[in-house]
Amino acid sequence: MATCPMRGGNSAALASLMSDNPRYAEMFDVNKENANAGVDNNRDYTDDMNALREAAPVHKGSLRELLGVPEIAHSMGPPRDAMTFFSWRACEIGFRENLLFSSEGYNESPGVRTIGPTILSMVGKPHKRLRSAAQPLFKRPKVIDWWNRRWIEETVDALLDRLLDEQATDLNTQLCARLPMATVTRAIGLEGEDVIEFRYQLNRATFGAAKLGPQEAAASRAWVDQTLRDLIAENTRNPGDNLITGLIASEIVDEEDGFKRKLTEDEIFGYCKLAIFAGGGTTWRQLGITIDALMNHRHFWEACAKDRSLVELAVEESLRWRCTDPMMPRLCVEDTDVEGVPVPAGTRVFLCFGAANHDPAVFENPLEYDIFRKKQANMGFGYGPHRCLGIEVARQEMIVAINGLLDRFPNMTLDPAMPKPEYRGLEHRGMTAVTVRLK
């Protein structure tokens, strides 16, 4: 089980976090992610998705089927007829009309069900109530004043300072994978080796469970649940300065219905598990994508060095240009029509917003990475009522990390002695490596 949670960062805990634990390489390899099973590791599917969008805004079939990639059996639940939306307009409808294109379809996924009740698989008033309870903990001012000062800045400094004497490194494992995982896991009250152990056991208990025997999966679920129960009990007795204490103090309020209550333990469990998966996965891959983009567009790296306000634009453009998760599923609950195409009730709909972010009807020169392009909303972290709750945490992790690199290694370049990093994967895309010369 986890050791007693520590209050605040300290050098011993951070030194443990910086260890060369082999599970970093095991867990943070884009080619080995469970969601990318069956994907051709030598292929970037961006052009294929864009070609499908150009052919039609809506296609019959799942994204994998349309790309000729084997389906992962039962990953989304029982078999259903499928359709995929590719245009900006079609994806916008799919995201905004959440009562019609329901997120409750996630409840059919065995992996998602193991996480417990979360905002991911809710719609309407239940979703609004549960989301609003935690929303104040993730708003931009709170992230800058609390998440940054409490965890992000300290973790970035520790990760990058250990590289000061190095000439070259792979930032994928030394920075990109460690930072978001450490931030969100430490935010729930864990420190040291418990940070990676929790992520490892949670992965085994949910989306990695299909590869394990039932006893191993059950043991990992028990480890995760007991760790969270211990943390909740500890923070109930002795409130700390962390996310679990914040969730314990939060209330679900509906003034219209005169409804008010505290979060249940299961709801706190769900928030913590979802935060680990979303925060530890998407930001890891997106940070690597952003660094690689800046290394391959040297003039933007140099511009950011001169004007640090551009770092945020560099991050936002990477979310549009190469979003790490280019697709989300929905369940159509009644017969409808999108972009002139009938979508029957019961259809599993895949919103391919990776292609929507390249829609020339919305973005000028959409295939170019350009941090100076006109400011426009993108779907890199979702859209509409289910837009990623932790987007501001993810942004600040990437902004602080890139500023830290600019401070220490302004002359950093891709390492010419190493194979060129490639952008790979399908559902969970990222860089095969982020190998750089630091000086």
| Closest C-alpha to 232, from 252, 250, 216, 207 | 250
**β-bridge partners, 349:** 83, 330
What does the pLDDT read at residue 15?
A: 61
**pLDDT computed for residue 18 by the predictor:** 66
Q: What is the dihedral of CA 352, 276, 431, 46, to 10 degrees?
A: 0
CA angle 233, 238, 241 (to 5 degrees): 105
Domain limits, the chain = 11-16+40-437
332 within 8 A of 345, measured Cβ to Cβ: yes
The alpha helices in 206-264, defined as continuous H runs, are 214-237, 243-249
Instruction: Provide the token pair at 108.
Output: 């059919």
What CA–CA distance (Å, rounded) separates 188 from 185?
Answer: 5
Report in angstroms the alpha-carbon separations of 410 from 295, 309, 403, 406: 11, 16, 10, 5
Residue 367, judged by CB atoms within 10 A of its CB (0-12, 13-18, 19+), counts as exposed
Quick check: 123 and 103 in contact, CB under 8 A? yes
Contacts (Cβ under 8 Å, ≥6 apart) of 284: 28, 176, 177, 179, 180, 181, 430
Tell me which residue of 407, 326, 384 sits closest to 46, measured CA to CA.
Answer: 326
The number of beta carbons lying within 10 Å of the beta carbon of residue 41 is 12
Main-chain dihedrals φ then ψ at residue 349, nearest 5 degrees:
-105, 135
Torsion sign (Cα): 1, 29, 284, 106: negative
Cα distances (angstroms) measured from residue 133 to each of 137, 217, 245, 339: 9, 31, 13, 36
The span from the CA of 172 to the CA of 289, in Å, is 10
Type of residue found at 333: V
- Taking the chain (439 residues) in runs of 10, the rounded mean pLDDT of each run is 39 62 74 77 93 98 96 85 98 97 92 82 93 95 95 94 96 92 89 79 74 82 90 95 96 83 91 82 93 98 98 98 95 97 98 98 97 95 93 96 98 97 92 96
Its CATH architecture, for the domain 11-16+40-437, is: Orthogonal Bundle (1.10)
**Whole-number pLDDT of residue 111:** 76
Report yes or no: 100 and 210 within 8 Å, Cβ to Cβ: no
Residue 415 · residue 408 · CB < 8 Å? no
Taking CB atoms within 8 Å and a gap of at least 24, the contacts of 368-375 are 368/321, 369/293, 369/296, 369/297, 369/300, 369/317, 369/318, 369/321, 369/322, 370/317, 371/300, 371/303, 371/304, 371/310, 371/313, 371/314, 371/317, 372/313, 373/317
Q: Which pLDDT score, from 0 to 100, does residue 209 have?
A: 60
Query: Who's near 267: CB < 8 A, 6+ residues apart?
Result: 116, 117, 130
Q: Which amino acid is at 345?
A: A
What are φ and ψ of residue 435, in 5° steps? -85, 125
DSSP per position, 322-365:
S-S---EEEEE-S-EEETTEEE-TT-EEEE-HHHHTT-TTTSSS
Residue at 184: amino acid letter: V
Residues 107 and 15: their CA atoms lie apart, in Å, by 39
Q: Tell whether the torsion through CA atoms of 148, 149, 151 and 154 is positive or negative.
A: positive
What pairing do the DSSP bridges indicate for beta strands 435-437 and 168-170?
A: antiparallel
Query: What pLDDT score does 35 carry?
Result: 67
For residues 291 and 281, what is the distance between their CA atoms, to the nearest angstrom? Answer: 16
Residue type, position 251, single letter:
E
* pTM of the shown model: 0.93
